[in-house]
């Protein structure tokens, strides 16, 4: 009986999942198979160009401290070629290599070091600044390649692995999990980044991010750090985005993206209330660019775009990513909250211009001394004011007294373009709109400051 009990316990132990081996994957096979297709990339700038750049950066007053120097000359510092390094990976046996644009930006020479220690000079096939992707080509054949997977199928919590050359240490392997998907970074409007906790450091840029099937799902690109090193916040460009860029670079040497022609901002709780939304969601349009597809479709400042081409827009940062993937000429439907009503607009997507940040290109009335219910004193915009700021309407805030506007962050020098979703062009019109405001509640004020316009939620009844 005792032996039977021992046998029963052993059978239970055999059936129970091994916690350590079942949770932690073995990466050895993945690394052995894929490491040969990961390359180190080094770049250099010719000494002459480096000297020229140095001359532009040294102030003339400092140059004159060197004996015998004339203004405009630079001391002989025996410049060396400026160098940098990063990672990349082979996507074509005929020599096509993928990396980050910032790894090779402004380089005169690009050297690719293969896993067999060969060093080959690479040709830049094409680059795309907005996605930070560069496509290189080396003169070789029969090279090992990586299998491209799908970043769309990637799940949060899934194991991922990176191979690269941090700080120049070739073929370094680090692993972690997917922390989030669809992340937006301040400087990147068109890339929904994959966030991971994989250890990424300088030199990892351009290297591949793998799933457990050994497929490339991303290109390691950026970190967020206070000290320049790894702090658990690493970001990779989704491989689906990257391969679309590759296809366009091969086909036409440039990348086309869809364009609406709107300036947007997030919707917070107070703004949501002022626009009649149940919750803070969507992309709030603070400006419509002249001649843009959005203007042609009837989109107006103060509209909140809630969905686009069937995709729900929960965060404002999602809109450029959805629009950017659509080819020029595509007709897409947008669900928009307009003046408290939910409407549907059909918009024909345009082609994102090189200068997508193009801005909008009178007689004056006396300054209004009455601070009004908001607590602001306004004045008309002169012709010079309009030209300098690039606005075609609004009133200039001359003074902000204690009150709702001050609490909302409005300050002297701002231009108020609209009040309670109604455009305002003169102090008289502004005063009329103030008089029509309710005694309490939240109203949206469209403010232009430092070259950008954004809505501010102002709570009334706080004087």
Among 252, 285, 306, the domain-final residue is 252
Q: Is residue 382 part of a domain?
A: yes
Q: Is residue 309 part of a domain?
A: yes
Q: Is residue 176 part of a domain?
A: yes
The predicted structure's pLDDT at residue 441:
81
Asked about 109 being catalytic, the answer comes back as no
Asked about 132 being catalytic, the answer comes back as yes
Q: Which of 44, 102, 108, 385 is catalytic?
A: 102
Is residue 462 within 8 A of residue 403, CB to CB? The reply is: yes
Q: Is residue 369 part of a domain?
A: no
Rounded to whole angstroms, the Cα distance separating 215 from 197 reads 18
Domains in the chain, number: 4
Among 116, 137, 158, the domain-final residue is 137
Co-location of 236 and 329 in the same domain = no
Co-location of 161 and 202 in the same domain = yes
Co-location of 248 and 263 in the same domain = no
Co-location of 71 and 125 in the same domain = yes
CATH of the domain at 449: 2.30.42.10
pTM listed for this prediction: 0.69
Q: Which of 42, 128, 132, 303 is catalytic?
A: 132
The predicted structure's pLDDT at residue 236:
97
DSSP 332-377: EEEEEEETTEEEEEEEE-EEPPTTTTPPP-----PPP---TTTTEE
Among 76, 111, 137, the domain-final residue is 137
Asked about 328 being catalytic, the answer comes back as no
Q: Along the 463 residues of the chain, how does pLDDT read in single tens digits? A: 454 444 444 444 444 444 344 568 999 999 999 999 999 999 988 776 655 554 454 444 434 433 444 444 545 544 455 466 899 999 999 999 999 999 999 899 999 999 999 999 999 999 999 999 999 999 999 999 999 999 999 999 999 999 999 998 999 999 999 999 999 886 677 899 999 999 999 999 999 999 999 999 999 999 887 777 788 899 999 999 999 999 999 998 889 999 999 989 999 998 998 888 999 999 999 889 888 999 999 999 999 999 999 999 999 989 999 999 999 999 999 999 999 899 999 999 999 887 544 433 333 334 444 456 788 888 888 766 777 778 888 888 888 877 888 888 898 889 999 888 888 888 877 877 887 787 778 888 999 988 888 898 888 864 3
The predicted structure's pLDDT at residue 371:
57
Q: Is residue 362 part of a domain?
A: no
DSSP 119-170: EEEPEEEEEETTTTEEEEE-S--S---PEE--STT--TT-EEEEEE-GGG-T
Q: Is residue 21 part of a domain?
A: no
CATH of the domain at 41: 2.40.10.10
Co-location of 131 and 85 in the same domain = yes
Q: Is residue 113 part of a domain?
A: yes
Co-location of 42 and 116 in the same domain = yes
Which range of residues forms the domain containing residue 77?
32-137
Reduced DSSP (H G I as helix, E B as strand, rest coil) percent helix, strand, coil of the chain, to 5? 20, 35, 45
Q: Which of 205, 274, 316, 317 is catalytic?
A: 205
Q: Is residue 364 part of a domain?
A: no
Can you tell me which residue has the tokens 């009334």? Answer: 460
Co-location of 156 and 129 in the same domain = no
Co-location of 302 and 387 in the same domain = no
């Amino acid at each position: 009986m005792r032996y039977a009990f021992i046998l029963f316990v052993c059978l239970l132990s055999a059936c129970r999942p091994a916690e350590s081996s079942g949770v932690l994957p073995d990466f050895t096979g993945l690394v052995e198979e894929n490491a040969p297709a990961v390359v180190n990339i080094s770049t250099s700038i010719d000494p002459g160009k480096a000297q020229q750049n140095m001359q532009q950066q040294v102030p003339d007053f400092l140059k004159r401290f060197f004996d015998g120097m004339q203004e405009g000359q630079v001391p002989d510092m025996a410049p060396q070629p400026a160098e940098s390094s990063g990672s990349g990976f082979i996507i074509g046996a005929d020599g096509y290599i993928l990396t980050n644009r910032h790894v090779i930006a402004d380089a005169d020479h690009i050297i690719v070091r293969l896993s067999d220690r060969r060093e080959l000079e690479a040709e830049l096939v094409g680059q795309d600044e907005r996605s930070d992707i560069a496509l290189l080509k080396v003169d070789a054949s029969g090279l090992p390649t990586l299998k491209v997977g799908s970043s769309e199928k990637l799940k949060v919590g899934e194991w991922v692995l990176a191979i690269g050359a941090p700080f120049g240490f070739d073929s370094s392997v680090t692993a972690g999990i997917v922390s989030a998907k669809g992340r937006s970074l301040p400087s990147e409007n068109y890339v929904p980044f994959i966030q991971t906790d994989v250890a990424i450091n300088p030199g990892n840029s351009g290297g591949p991010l793998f799933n457990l099937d050994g497929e490339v799902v991303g290109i390691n690109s950026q970190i967020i750090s206070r000290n320049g090193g790894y702090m658990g916040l690493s970001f990779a460009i989704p491989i689906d985005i990257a391969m679309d860029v590759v296809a366009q670079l091969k086909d036409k040497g440039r990348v086309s993206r869809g364009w609406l022609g709107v300036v947007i901002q997030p919707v917070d709780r107070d703004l949501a209330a002022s626009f009649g939304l149940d919750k803070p969601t969507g992309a709030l349009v603070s400006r419509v660019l002249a001649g843009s597809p959005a203007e042609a479709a009837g989109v107006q400042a103060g509209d909140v775009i809630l969905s686009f081409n069937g995709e729900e827009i929960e965060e404002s940062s999602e809109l450029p990513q959805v629009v950017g993937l659509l080819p020029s000429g595509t007709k897409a439907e947008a669900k928009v909250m307009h003046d408290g009503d939910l409407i549907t607009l059909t918009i024909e997507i345009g082609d994102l211009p090189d200068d997508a940040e193009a801005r909008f290109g009178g007689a004056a009335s006396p300054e209004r001394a009455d601070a009004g219910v908001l607590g602001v004193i306004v004045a008309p915009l002169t012709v010079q004011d309009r030209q300098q700021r690039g606005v075609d309407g609004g009133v200039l805030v001359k003074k902000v007294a204690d009150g709702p506007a001050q609490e909302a962050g409005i300050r002297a020098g701002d231009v108020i373009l609209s009040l309670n979703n109604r455009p305002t062009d003169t102090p008289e019109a502004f005063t009329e709109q103030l008089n029509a405001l309710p005694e309490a509640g939240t109203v949206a004020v469209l403010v232009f400051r430092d070259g950008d316009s954004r809505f501010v939620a102002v709570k009334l009844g706080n004087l």
